[in-house]
Amino acid sequence: MAIEITVDTPVLKGEKGDKGDTGSFDYGHLEDIVIEHLDGRFSDVDADLALKVDIDNDKDLVDKDIITGLAGLEGWIGNTVIITNEEGKNETKEKNLVNVLETKVDDDKLNIKFEVLETELKNKLDGELELSKSGDMRRSVYDPDGDNIVDIAKQADNADTVNNLTVETAVPENAVFTDTTYNEVSITEAGLMSSYDKMKLDGVARGATRVEVIDGLDSIDVNKALSAKQGKVLKSDINNINNHISILESEQKILWSGGSYMGDGVVVGFSEKINEQKNGIVLIWSEYDSEPQNSGFHYFYIPKKNYEGNQQSGHSIDMFLSNATFSTPAGKRLLITNTALTGSVLNTSTGTSVSGIKYYNNKYVLRAVLGV
């Protein structure tokens, strides 16, 4: 039976793009045309095919088992196949050639094939290294079991393995791995360091530990150290010094300040009690002329022992004030307690005393009370 093919044939005349009538060609005539124009150009192809195809001996380009397996592909349409996905779970897929082949692949066998290939490649590379005479040691020599640990090498009968190290290049063929041992270093024999270094190191150690411990504070020798007992005593003494410094800094506190005649009924209270001061109080007076003046200062010290016998009711004190020429002599009287001063009617008066001395008590005012 001849094979017929249907073609569109262009016409020789007519408008551009016109097509001729659809016709048929006899396959035998087409074969004649091919033979006429190609002549024997397929002879080489025929020769190659002759080596691969032998119909009499059931030898073909395609395995007949595959042809048989593909014969029923039409029946796959609309059917499914179960495959194992990358997560190791079963998954239903459309039945096609790719998915069917997926079910036929044996991963274990494939891995075995890769291992065989890896071994063959390794042996090939080892052989090339040996032939090249480059001096590179073959892995099959220094690591025959492939565990990345250097095993006993060639001509190294007594060598221990070198853990976690590999020797990839530049190792001579007769390389021997051996252990080097060193004696303990002394000042006369070198070991891991020179004997001179050992002598210097021993000197440093002796100097660092030669410290005499003393139990007193009278030594000024820098090579001696205080005992823990004296360290505790020294700390206590330093704390006492700090406390005394704090007390000294707190002395001369201002308990009151202002400018007052301290007349009848005037009371000046202290910010701290007299018995809370280290020694007592100081009263400061100055001249007055329409306002307190920064001149004619007078200071009166009142020790805290002065009032201890009569703290509640207080007692009075008299003070005499004057300038350098005695032109304005004055007297002041105060009642003093542990917490305050109380003024007197005399502190603002002027006149002539029975002795004939003129006095001007309103020429001076109290400026401050200091705690000392």
The DSSP string of 280-297 is EEEEEEEEBSSSB-SSS-
Contact between 175 and 159 (Cβ < 8 Å):
no
Q: Is the pLDDT of residue 299 over 60?
A: yes
Chain-centroid distance, C-alpha 170: 41
Most confidently modeled of 7-16, 79-88, 178-187, 318-327?
318-327
Contact between 348 and 364 (Cβ < 8 Å):
no
Angle in degrees, CA 323, 328, 330, rounded to 5: 95
Q: Is the pLDDT of residue 135 over 60?
A: no
Give residue 336's pLDDT.
Answer: 92
What's at 26, amino acid-wise? D
Nearest to 142 by CA among 121, 159, 167, 165: 167
Reported for 177-185, long-range contacts at CB under 8 A and 24+ positions apart, including other chains, are 177/150, 177/152, 177/153
Question: pLDDT tens across 197-241, in order?
Answer: 777 777 776 655 555 655 565 655 666 666 677 677 778 888 887
Give residue 235's pLDDT.
Answer: 80
Q: Is the pLDDT of residue 370 over 80?
A: yes
Residue 7 confidence class, pLDDT cut points 50, 70, 90 = very low
- Average pLDDT over every residue of 339-357: 93
Residue 69 dihedral angles phi and psi, to the nearest 5°: -65, -30
What's at 108, amino acid-wise? D
Residue 121 confidence class, pLDDT cut points 50, 70, 90 = confident
- Average pLDDT over every residue of 300-304: 90
Average pLDDT, the chain: 72
Residue 12 confidence class, pLDDT cut points 50, 70, 90 = very low
**SS3 category, 64:** helix
- Average pLDDT over every residue of 8-12: 44
Higher pLDDT: 38 or 352? It is: 352
Reported for 29-38, long-range contacts at CB under 8 A and 24+ positions apart, including other chains, are 30/5
Q: What torsion do the CA atoms of 96, 102, 103, 109 make, to the nearest 10 degrees?
A: 150
Proportion of the chain above pLDDT 70, given as a percent: 50
Q: Is the pLDDT of residue 20 over 50?
A: no
Give residue 116's pLDDT.
Answer: 78
Distances (CA, A) of 220 to 90, 214, 226, 233: 90, 11, 11, 17
Give residue 219's pLDDT.
Answer: 59
Residue 8 confidence class, pLDDT cut points 50, 70, 90 = very low
Q: Is the pLDDT of residue 154 over 50?
A: no
Enumerate residues 6+ apart whose C-beta is below 8 A from 100: 76, 81
